[in-house]
């Protein structure tokens, strides 16, 4: 059986077209992967330090862009490189901002002498102390105050250690939802 010259070329063209389609798809996938990772991260909650807000085993989407265009605010749940070992990532809530004095006394957190109302805390802290938050740093605490390794233990978090703001729990499905449901409020004097 003889193959006509046009038919042979057509078979090669189809093969080349399929190969180009596969390469384009792979290239697009790689580009999308890097774009998604440039603007977001995904982390798994490891431990109970953020209960009742976040639970062990939940997966969270983190925005890496929020603090490129804005500043962290009190109440934000942030992911950062642990200052004592930058190979570890921690997730905590911002309580104290640069230049503020954080005091914990009789189970209440005070910012510059004003009590902080925190509806997300599992129970009041059983420890006490006063900390001055340096310029360019944050004071962070876990929502499970008495079972959290945080700024009351090891100090402030330099802003350059921030990875981003935790936005959304995406796994498991029953836990789907926004991370920052309740905001802390400074009581007026």
Query: Residues 35, 52: one domain?
Result: no
Query: Residues 50, 36: one domain?
Result: no
Q: Give the total number of structural domains in the chain.
A: 2
Please name the helix (run of DSSP H) or strand (run of DSSP E) that holds residue 32, with its range, or none: helix 5-39
Query: Residues 80, 21: one domain?
Result: no
Query: Residues 81, 95: one domain?
Result: yes
Query: Residues 11, 82: one domain?
Result: no
Query: Residues 6, 96: one domain?
Result: no
Query: Residues 78, 4: one domain?
Result: no
Nearest to 37 by CA among 157, 177, 163: 163
Three-class SS state of 43:
strand
- How does pLDDT run across 90-139, given as a tens digit for each residue? 999 999 999 999 999 999 999 999 999 998 898 999 999 999 999 999 99
Domain harbouring 91, CATH code: 2.10.109.10
d(CA 137, CA 159): 5
Catalytically active residues are 49, 92
Query: Residues 64, 130: one domain?
Result: yes
If one counts every other C-beta atom within 10 angstroms of the C-beta of residue 94, the result is: 23
Q: Which domain holds residue 11?
A: 1-40
Say whether pLDDT at 188 is over 90: no
189 confidence band (pLDDT: 50, 70, 90): very low
Query: Residues 35, 62: one domain?
Result: no
- How does pLDDT run across 35-81, given as a tens digit for each residue? 776 676 888 999 999 999 999 999 999 999 889 888 999 999 999 99
Query: Residues 24, 104: one domain?
Result: no
Query: Residues 151, 58: one domain?
Result: yes
Query: Residues 68, 8: one domain?
Result: no
Under 8 Å between Cβ of 150 and 91: no
d(CA 39, CA 52): 27
d(CA 9, CA 7): 5
């Amino acid at each position: 059986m003889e193959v006509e010259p046009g038919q042979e070329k057509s078979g090669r063209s189809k093969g080349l077209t399929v190969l180009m389609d596969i390469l384009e798809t792979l290239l697009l996938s790689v580009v999308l992967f890097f774009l998604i990772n440039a603007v977001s991260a995904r982390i798994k909650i490891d431990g109970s330090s953020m209960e009742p807000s976040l639970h062990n085993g939940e997966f969270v989407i983190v925005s890496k862009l929020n603090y490129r265009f804005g500043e962290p605010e009190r109440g934000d749940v942030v992911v950062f490189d642990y200052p004592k070992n930058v190979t570890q990532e921690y997730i905590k809530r911002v309580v104290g901002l640069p230049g503020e004095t954080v005091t914990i006394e009789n189970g209440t957190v005070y910012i510059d002498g004003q009590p902080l109302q925190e509806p997300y805390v599992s129970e009041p802290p059983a420890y006490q102390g006063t900390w001055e938050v340096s310029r360019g740093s944050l004071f962070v605490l876990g929502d499970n105050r008495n079972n959290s390794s945080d700024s009351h233990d090891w100090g402030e978090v330099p802003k350059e250690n921030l990875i981003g703001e935790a936005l959304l729990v995406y796994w498991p499905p029953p836990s789907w939802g926004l991370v920052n449901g309740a905001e802390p409020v400074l009581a007026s004097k």
